[in-house]
Copies of this chain bind each other. A is one copy, B any other.
Amino acid sequence: MESRCENCIIRQFNALRAMSKEELKKVSDSKTTKKLKKGEPLFEEGEKLNGVYCVRSGVSKLSKLSANGKDQIVKLASKGEVIGQRSVIAEESANLSAVAVNDMEVCFIPKESITNTLQVNPDFTLEVLRHMAHDLREADDVIVNISQKTVKQRIAEAFLYLKNNFGEDEEGFLALTLSREDISNVVGTATESAIRIISDFKKQGLINASGKKLGIKNERKLQELVDGF
């Protein structure tokens, strides 16, 4: 049996919490649940979206392909985040692709449930607006980082970001495991460059690595690196 949005804890993390009982009921009646295996796409850039996706579990990378064939990851979305709302609101086709980084469970919410509410419930609209304001700030910060910091600094920062946003497991490894290629696509560099720097970090004792699993060993030093010594 499908669970209802009304009882969904995830909702507390996003704008859906500002919906009225009735609005939420409509969403719940029209939503569908979808499971994705690691690597499967939610949607591709250029696609028309008929709704948004609310992440219940797992992580999705939002990325854009550039002319030289490399993907740039613009955002990692996890539990509670709503994917695709920018495109739905702007009534544009998707600017980014969304692909599952690990196994995911998402709810698909048809766009009508969202757009109707946007037109009549200012609480909801304002809440969505606040989330988007936050995303915009983050995007601005990424622009500054990517253009003013070295690859080494950006990779150090990525490690700290992964720890702060996705936490660590019992053994102290980062809870979100990204491939070296994904890391390079987050920081915007060649995969080989990322690999080399990660190896360096390991040799210097800043991080530890066991296969794909990566862990932070010396957070202070990493932070110093980010800040430019």
Contacts and interface: CB of A to CB of B under 8 A. Distances in A.
Interface of A: 64, 66-68, 70, 72, 74, 86, 89-90, 92, 95-96, 118-123, 125-126, 128-130, 132-137, 139-149, 188-189, 227-228
The 9 closest A-B pairs by CB, nearest first: A147-B188, A66-B148, A139-B139, A125-B125, A90-B133, A122-B122, A72-B144, A89-B133, A64-B144
A12 to B, nearest CB: 19
Contacts of A146: 143, 146-147, 188
B125 A129 contact: yes
Given A118-B122, A129-B132, 19 more contacts: A66-B145, A66-B148, A66-B149, A68-B228, A72-B144, A72-B147, A89-B130, A89-B133, A90-B134, A92-B137, A125-B129, A129-B129, A132-B133, A136-B139, A139-B140, A143-B143, A146-B146, A146-B188, A147-B188
28 contacts: A66-B149, A67-B228, A68-B228, A72-B143, A72-B144, A72-B147, A74-B143, A86-B133, A86-B137, A89-B129, A90-B130, A90-B137, A95-B137, A95-B141, A118-B129, A119-B126, A125-B126, A128-B129, A129-B129, A129-B132, A132-B133, A136-B136, A139-B140, A139-B143, A142-B143, A146-B147, A147-B189, A148-B188
Nearest to A95: B137
A160 B121 CA distance: 40
A137 to B, nearest CB: 5
A139 B138 CA distance: 10
Contacts of A227: 67
* Residue with the highest number of chain B CB atoms closer than 10 Å, among A92, A130, A144: A144
